[in-house]
Chains A and B, each alone.
Chain A
Amino acid sequence: MAPAPGTSVPCEKRPSIRPRESPPPHGNRWSNVHRVLFAAIWVLGQLALILTANRRVDGAFGFRMFNESSTIKLTLYREIDRPGGRERVRVEGGAWTARGPDGTPRRITWYERIPRPRWVFDAEMHASYGAATQLERLQNALDYLATHVPEDDETRRFVLEVAVRRNGREPVMHRLTSPERTTNGTNGEHASNTPDSQERPAWAARDGGR
């Protein structure tokens, strides 16, 4: 068989609508210096981020994919002062009813204040980016919650029990507590560190996936 006239035109033969000049093979001196400098900074920066990922609890910028297969199970409580002393009340599904500053009951949900990450309560869920990451994020969320529910004039403290099952092992219970809240309508006053919050480095060390 003999070749017929081609149906596709080689790239090199195609007409150019807007021809451009390629840079000369060696460019100018400054351009060359910038290329090498940029590349060096980029590579060294990436290596530094990867090698120091251990120092960040979530290993951010370290490309540690699927670092754990841990799960967490959250149970939220709120502590209320009663005449007989402090009482711990379980919060079902992240929503509760509390007396507001004007004395009327208000319906409040965790998800209004903390829509993301999407944590679920009273059910086992995957600990994205590892158990230590989740514990730290949950502690931050709890601190945030304590200062962002002005309509709750009743709760003195939020407590979160977290059952952590790390890579299929037996579950270990962690208790996270929010700062103490005032109940005079001016929410958001941080109490000094409670014994629980002082324990934070302990779980980080015990459960730290990295």
Chain B
Amino acid sequence: MVSALARFRDEIADGYVLGTVRAVIGVLLGWHALSAAQELATVGYFGDAFHTPIVPEALVPSHRVYAVVLAARVCLAVMVAIGVWARPALALSAAFGLWLLLCDRNQFHHNRYALYCYALLLSLTPCDRSWRATEPSVLLPRRGPFWGVRLAQLQVSLVYLASGGSKLLDPDWRDGLVLADRIARHAHLAIEKGVPRELVELLARVDVASAMSKAAIMTELAICAALWIRSTRVVALWWGLWFHVAIQVTSKVETFTVLTLAMYGVFVTPDCRTRTLRFDPSRFSGKLAGTIVPALDWFARFEVEPWEPDDQRGHSVVVIRRDGERSTGIRAFAMLTRCLPLLFPLWAPVALLASFTKRGDLTTRG
């Protein structure tokens, strides 16, 4: 216990991957600030109408102060996104956001509260060392204290634990009543969008909805734990991604999906270009990989280098994994889907396919 605490307190790691997370959080902070500004312009100042402050009314900002705070939030969000004084900007954004949440309970949303929690925790991490618009070069050293990252990871797990746990304790959720009613009420919308009527009717059946409810509860609780185990982490991230995509498609959750998927970035192994991708520039597919991979490699997983063309027959792309093993063909593609965020939704089926090759395996190593 003491050694774990000491490890938590003293851990130093590479902060490159956090730059991506910070940039997305900056965009989300900006989106919420702009939405509030739009609402101020169209609906009016919330303090002039019905509102339910959690803090004393004296702490609710006046119309003018509120407008200034919104403008400041937009500026801070831009600073976070482009990496200028990013950490103080994150902390201030979180403070302003939490303050305004406490000023009107009617505007409270879990996803907004989660965003400000994550912003605050991210401000304690070395997230300002990469993804900087003003100084594109990576600051050296990129390494920094990682205790804030561990707290952010814990926060992600706590959200899953709270959400899954509360559903588990609710008989209506466990028995599928909540999900069945939800599906039944939105059935006409799904059918209008082209979902087969038979499928919608099947999903709305209480026994099917009950099974789906249990699967959803299990998913949240399993992800909460699996994110912490190295061998199950990538599976948890992949499953969680599709879980959130499904929620996004079927519900109105503001920016919660993007927020959670962005925060998955804090679980990326904190290293930089520890894998190598070699491509054959004389071949179209090799050239394509040499162009696309650096553009999509937001977490700096690959060192991308061309092979010098020769007359020997070889592969267009070779991925050299962390453990030194070389992968080609479908196994190399599986590695790319695992490491490039935009291709990550494809990872599990591609990895499964790759496992059937001669040197394939079903582990999550590499």
- Residue ranges of A at the interface with B (Cβ–Cβ < 8 Å): 1-4, 6-8, 10-12, 14-23, 25-27, 32, 35-36, 38-39, 42-43, 46-47, 50, 53, 58-69, 71, 112-117, 137, 140-141, 144-145, 148, 167-169, 209-210
Of the listed stretches B67-75, B303-311, B329-337, B340-348, name the one at the interface; the rest are far from the partner chain: B303-311
B154 to A18, Cβ gap below 8 A? Answer: no
- A124 — nearest CB in chain B belongs to which residue? B185
Answer whether residue B251 sits at the interface, using C-beta atoms and an 8 A cutoff: yes
- Beyond known contacts A6-B305, A67-B167, A67-B178: 15 more, CB 8 A cutoff: A2-B307, A6-B303, A8-B273, A11-B138, A22-B12, A36-B9, A46-B158, A58-B105, A63-B110, A63-B159, A69-B185, A112-B49, A115-B50, A116-B39, A167-B172
Pairs across A and B, CB under 8 Å, 5 listed: A3-B308, A8-B273, A11-B138, A46-B117, A58-B105
* A19 CA to B50 CA, complexed, in Å: 51
B5 to A15, Cβ gap below 8 A? Answer: no
Given contacts A11-B272, A62-B162, A116-B106, contact A1 B307 (CB under 8 A): yes
In the bound complex, residues from chain B placing their C-beta under 8 Å from that of A65 are 110, 163, 253, 256
* A66 CA to B162 CA, complexed, in Å: 12
Given contacts A11-B273, A62-B162, A116-B43, contact A22 B143 (CB under 8 A): yes
A64 to B110, Cβ gap below 8 A? Answer: yes
* A8 CA to B305 CA, complexed, in Å: 7
Of the listed stretches B144-152, B193-201, B228-236, name the one at the interface; the rest are far from the partner chain: B144-152
* A35 CA to B143 CA, complexed, in Å: 17
Least CB distance from A36 to B in Å reads 6
Given contacts A36-B5, A69-B185, contact A167 B307 (CB under 8 A): no
- A166 — nearest CB in chain B belongs to which residue? B172
Given contacts A7-B306, A39-B151, A66-B251, contact A137 B52 (CB under 8 A): yes
In the bound complex, residues from chain B placing their C-beta under 8 Å from that of A148 are 50
* A206 CA to B217 CA, complexed, in Å: 25
Least CB distance from A162 to B in Å reads 17
Given contacts A7-B304, A63-B158, A69-B178, contact A1 B110 (CB under 8 A): no
* A15 CA to B278 CA, complexed, in Å: 23
Given contacts A2-B310, A50-B158, A137-B52, contact A168 B177 (CB under 8 A): yes
Least CB distance from B161 to A in Å reads 8
A10 to B137, Cβ gap below 8 A? Answer: no
Given contacts A14-B138, A61-B113, A114-B49, contact A68 B294 (CB under 8 A): no
* A68 CA to B110 CA, complexed, in Å: 14
In the bound complex, residues from chain A placing their C-beta under 8 Å from that of B8 are 36, 39
In the bound complex, residues from chain A placing their C-beta under 8 Å from that of B251 are 66
Least CB distance from B218 to A in Å reads 15
The interface bits of chain B over 296-317 (1 if a CB of A lies within 8 angstroms of the residue's CB, else 0) are 0000100111111110101000
Query: Which of A2, A43, A68 contacts B154 (CB under 8 A)?
Result: A43
Q: Which residues of chain B from 71 to 89 have any CB-CB distance to chain A below 8 Å in the complex?
A: none
In the bound complex, residues from chain A placing their C-beta under 8 Å from that of B309 are 1
* A32 CA to B97 CA, complexed, in Å: 28
Query: Which of A1, A22, A27, A67 contacts B280 (CB under 8 A)?
Result: A1
B49 to A115, Cβ gap below 8 A? Answer: yes
* A12 CA to B112 CA, complexed, in Å: 36
* A11 CA to B14 CA, complexed, in Å: 11
* A105 CA to B286 CA, complexed, in Å: 78
In the bound complex, residues from chain B placing their C-beta under 8 Å from that of A8 are 273, 294, 303-305
Least CB distance from A131 to B in Å reads 11
A63 to B114, Cβ gap below 8 A? Answer: yes
Least CB distance from B50 to A in Å reads 4
Query: Which of A7, A42, A58 contacts B305 (CB under 8 A)?
Result: A7
A64 to B139, Cβ gap below 8 A? Answer: no
Answer whether residue B170 sits at the interface, using C-beta atoms and an 8 A cutoff: yes
In the bound complex, residues from chain A placing their C-beta under 8 Å from that of B131 are none
In the bound complex, residues from chain B placing their C-beta under 8 Å from that of A71 are 185
* A35 CA to B151 CA, complexed, in Å: 10
In the bound complex, residues from chain A placing their C-beta under 8 Å from that of B361 are none
The interface bits of chain B over 248-272 (1 if a CB of A lies within 8 angstroms of the residue's CB, else 0) are 0001010010000000000000001
Answer whether residue B57 sits at the interface, using C-beta atoms and an 8 A cutoff: no
In the bound complex, residues from chain A placing their C-beta under 8 Å from that of B105 are 58, 60
Answer whether residue B26 sits at the interface, using C-beta atoms and an 8 A cutoff: no
B308 to A4, Cβ gap below 8 A? Answer: yes
